[in-house]
Amino acid sequence: MSEKTVSAKAPKTPKAKPVARKDMTKAQWIWKEMKRNYIAYIMCAPFFLIFFTFTILPVILSIFYSFTIFNLIEPMKWIFLDNYIRLFLDDDIFLTAVQNTLLFAVIIGPVSYLLSLFVAWFINEIPPKIRSVVTLIFYAPSISGGANMIWGVFFSGDSYGYANSILMRLGIIQSPIQFFQNADYVMPLCIVVALWSSLGTSFLSFIGGLQTIDKAQFEAAAVDGIKNRWQELWYVTLPNMKSQLLFGAILAITSAFGFGAVVDSLAGNPSVDYCAWTIVHHLGDYGGARFEVGYASAIATILFAMMVGSNMLVKKILAKVGQ
Give ∠ CA 266-269-273 in degrees, rounded to 5: 95
- Per CB under 8 A, the list member of 87, 186, 262, 293 interacting with other proteins is 293
Based on the shown chain and the rule CB under 8 A, indicate whether residue 199 belongs to the binding site for other proteins.
yes
Query: Among residues 2 and 174, whose Cβ is nearest to other proteins?
Result: 174
Based on the shown chain and the rule CB under 8 A, indicate whether residue 205 belongs to the binding site for other proteins.
yes
Q: Count CB neighbours of 270 within 10 A.
A: 16
- Per CB under 8 A, the list member of 46, 75, 127, 171 interacting with other proteins is 46
What spatial distance separates the first Cα and last Cα of the chain, rounded to whole Å? 74
Based on the shown chain and the rule CB under 8 A, indicate whether residue 89 belongs to the binding site for other proteins.
no
279 contacts 98 by C-beta, under 8 angstroms: yes
Query: Among residues 196 and 274, whose Cβ is nearest to other proteins?
Result: 196
Binding segment for other proteins (CB under 8 A), chosen from 77-85, 86-94, 170-178, 280-288, is 280-288
- The rounded distance, in Å, linking the Cα atoms of 319 and 313 is 10
Give ∠ CA 114-119-120 in degrees, rounded to 5: 100
Beta-strand runs (E) in the chain: 68-69, 77-78
Of 166-195, binders to other proteins (CB under 8 A) are 166, 169
Based on the shown chain and the rule CB under 8 A, indicate whether residue 34 belongs to the binding site for other proteins.
yes
Based on the shown chain and the rule CB under 8 A, indicate whether residue 251 belongs to the binding site for other proteins.
yes
Beta-strand runs (E) in 49-168: 68-69, 77-78
- Per CB under 8 A, the list member of 106, 222, 313, 317 interacting with other proteins is 222
Based on the shown chain and the rule CB under 8 A, indicate whether residue 33 belongs to the binding site for other proteins.
yes
Based on the shown chain and the rule CB under 8 A, indicate whether residue 313 belongs to the binding site for other proteins.
no
- The rounded distance, in Å, linking the Cα atoms of 178 and 161 is 10
Least spacing, CB of residue 184 vs other proteins, in Å: 22
